[in-house]
Amino acid sequence: MKKKIKSLKRKANQIRKLIIEMLATAGSGHPGGSLSSTEIIACLFFEVLRHNPKDPTWPKRDRFHLSKGHACPVLYAALSLCGYFDKEELWHLRKFGALLQGHADRRVPGIDVGSGSLGQGLSVALGMALAGKIDKEDYRVYCLMGDGELQEGNIWEAAMAAAHFRVDNLCGIVDYNRFQIDGRIEEVMNLEPLVNKWEAFGWHVVQCDGHNIEELLECFREADSTKGKPTVIIAHTVKGKGVSFMEHVVDFHGRAPSEKERKIALEELEEIESAEESIE
């Protein structure tokens, strides 16, 4: 177990470094919400999901859908580390003719449905979960949502329907980093009481520190064993996590690091990595 957690922490660090490098190279994009969901993505792609990067359309694969499509750098990084496509593609992010578009795109191996326009992802995941039920397949469906997009009515339509259709093969994850483009969630449009909302809509709700691998894995296990209703994991996270000058800074929702910032960020991430490596 300890070995597994250490390995997942290492993956998270690798993903973070790729996010910084990718966005600095692109010159635009969304670091904040990519860094806040890094552990969630690392747990999913390197532990939780049943998938085969050599066969991206394997019918029995678990599905993952990124509803917060602007956080595609974290997904692209994980997919490249899994081997879905050549890592070289990361350095063309957001460029003309690139495989890696500015928001998650279906042309990318490992991405089933593109996203970008917020609030639709839980519905997409619901459709996938229904397909699994119809086909009596045992694959699970995971949907990563941003907190800001929970302000969209479409999310709650999907939440209502998922409970109604009892899709217990569906697991939602909310990256609750408490910031959206215009500022603090509680100031722009408060979501609280968030747990009560999901419970009232008929979901099983679990909460955790979204940067704590052990807690995340425990939540995913609980979601897997919850029958008769969908589960949502409310992952409390830090926007810009891992880079001191990006943490809790709203400006880095949608601004790429400069060359100077890239260097400092990578140094910080290296330090975190070597500190973690030295703990046995």
Partner 1 sequence: MELLYARDIYGKTLIELGKKDKRVIVLDADLSGSTRTAMFAKEFPERFFNFGVAEQNMMAASAGLASCGKIVFVSTFAMFATARPLDQLRNTVCYNNFNVKIVATHAGITVGEDGSSHQALEDIAILRSIPNIRIVVPADAPEARDAIISAYNTEGPFYIRLGRAKVPTIQNKRPFALGKGYILEEGKDLAIIACGIMVYQALEANKILKEKGISATVANIHTIKPIDEKFIVDIARRHKHIMVCEEHQSVGGLYSSVCEVLSRENPVKIQSVGVNDRFGQSGSPQELLDAYELSSPHIARKAESFLMAAQS
Which positions lie near partner 1, rule CB under 8 A? 59, 63, 65, 106, 112-117, 120-121, 123-132, 134-135, 153-154, 157-158, 160-161, 164-165
Min CB(94)–partner 1 separation in Å: 17
Orientation of helix 2-26 relative to helix 259-278, angle to 10°: 170
For partner 1, the closer CB: 55 or 267: 55
Q: Which amino acid belongs to residue 205?
A: V
Min CB(63)–partner 1 separation in Å: 8
For partner 1, the closer CB: 8 or 125: 125
Min CB(144)–partner 1 separation in Å: 14
| Lookup: tokens for 171 | 């697991």
Give the SS3 label for residue 65.
Answer: strand
Min CB(137)–partner 1 separation in Å: 9
For partner 1, the closer CB: 29 or 132: 132
For partner 1, the closer CB: 25 or 154: 154
For partner 1, the closer CB: 143 or 174: 143
Give the SS3 label for residue 173.
Answer: strand
| 14, 80 Cβ separation under 8 angstroms | no
If you search the block for the tokens 């046995």, which residue do you land on?
280
- Taking residue 190's Cβ as centre, other Cβ atoms within 10 Å add up to 11
For partner 1, the closer CB: 117 or 258: 117
Min CB(158)–partner 1 separation in Å: 5
Min CB(22)–partner 1 separation in Å: 23
- DSSP readout, 190-220? ---SHHHHHHHTT-EEEEEETT-HHHHHHHH
| 197, 191 Cβ separation under 8 angstroms | yes
Residues 6 or more apart in contact with residue 37 via CB below 8 angstroms:
68, 71, 74, 144, 175, 210, 235, 237
For partner 1, the closer CB: 98 or 160: 160
Min CB(130)–partner 1 separation in Å: 6
Give Cα 245 to chain centroid, integer Å.
Answer: 21
| Lookup: tokens for 242 | 């891992």
